[in-house]
Amino acid sequence: MLDAAQKGAYAYPAINITSLTTANGALKAFADSNSDGIIQVSTGGGQFASGLNVNDAAFGAIVLAEAVHTLAEKYDVLIALHTDHCHPEKVDSFLRPLLDASRKRIAEGKGPLFQSHMFDGSVVDLKENLAISTELLKECQELDIILEVEAGCVGGEEDGHDTSGLPAEKLYTTPADMVAVYEALQPIGRFLFAATFGNVHGAYKPGSVKLKPTILRDGQKAVTDKHGAEAEMDLVFHGGSGSSLEELRETLDYGVVKMNIDTDTQYAFTRPIVTHVCENIEGVLKIDGEVGNKKFYDPRSYLKKAEKSLCDRLMVACNDLRSTGNTIFGKV
């Protein structure tokens, strides 16, 4: 999938899911767009999916991943499973149990549970980041899993991790950082690199986010000037809400093959639920001793609308990133 995206100058939307409903909306979007895609689970998403009593991020991620493996068999597109930001303090409680789950699946003659994982070491200095990344990539390589790493910080707040107070220069990865990442990881195995160029998590109006996509261009050039054209890295775009289509497409020219989408699909999912409640308030609520209307407060009545709305927004992302119509299902 990554090779096809690089060759075709497109990227895959990588959507965070938290439930069967969001998973089904994502699968429908990729299938209806004839696009391969990436479905991912964050630590917070896994924790939510595990339920209030279990409250275990890794266990919830396993439940969602196994469900997507089963559901994806009904679709003629390729789906890669990925885990989102895992910071150093959560490696032992989140990432390693998932690697163990993949070992178990492989021992049973199946493929790994997830095709890729993200280690976010941007919260520590680059030397420590690469030391941890190196060890994790060795483990992933043994399991035919790709590791995504990050150098430089994405601004804003996501899943309880807040970097909004960081100085502006921390939001931009340098060419020297990109060379260091390549030289540390390339000899070990395939990796994805979330280089930062002003990205910010959260919701912003168009024009509010000050991106510098040329940072990706300059970093790739520093790597390829030193190691040859074949050294171009597979890059990831985090925090794209509020970015213009022109900016999104520019990053594809610099090697971006994956773009995370979460904030926009969260809103797309929630908006029709709110509309449903507002338009059917007397049916949804038992007001003044009345009995309400079961067909309006049945969760299926509004979750189906939410699933469709999430699907529609993700299809826009497929178009924006040029993955629409580019499935390689059945061709490899």
Residues annotated as catalytic are: 84
Interatomic CA distance for residues 279 and 297, integer angstroms: 12
Can you give the C-alpha Rg of the chain in angstroms?
Answer: 20
At a CB cut-off of 8 Å and minimum separation 6, what does 169 contact? none
Strand segments, DSSP code E, in the chain are 12-16, 37-41, 79-83, 116-119, 146-151, 157-158, 161-162, 191-195, 234-237, 256-261
> How many other C-beta atoms are found inside a 10 Å radius of the C-beta of residue 104?
12
Interatomic CA distance for residues 64 and 14, integer angstroms: 15
Interatomic CA distance for residues 324 and 37, integer angstroms: 10
In the structure encoding, which two tokens stand for residue 121, read together? 């070491």
β-sheet bridge partners, residue 119: 149
CA atoms within 13 A on the CB side of 188: 23
Interatomic CA distance for residues 94 and 319, integer angstroms: 33
Dihedral angle of Cα 288, 290, 291, 297, to the nearest 10 degrees: -50
Interatomic CA distance for residues 146 and 12, integer angstroms: 15
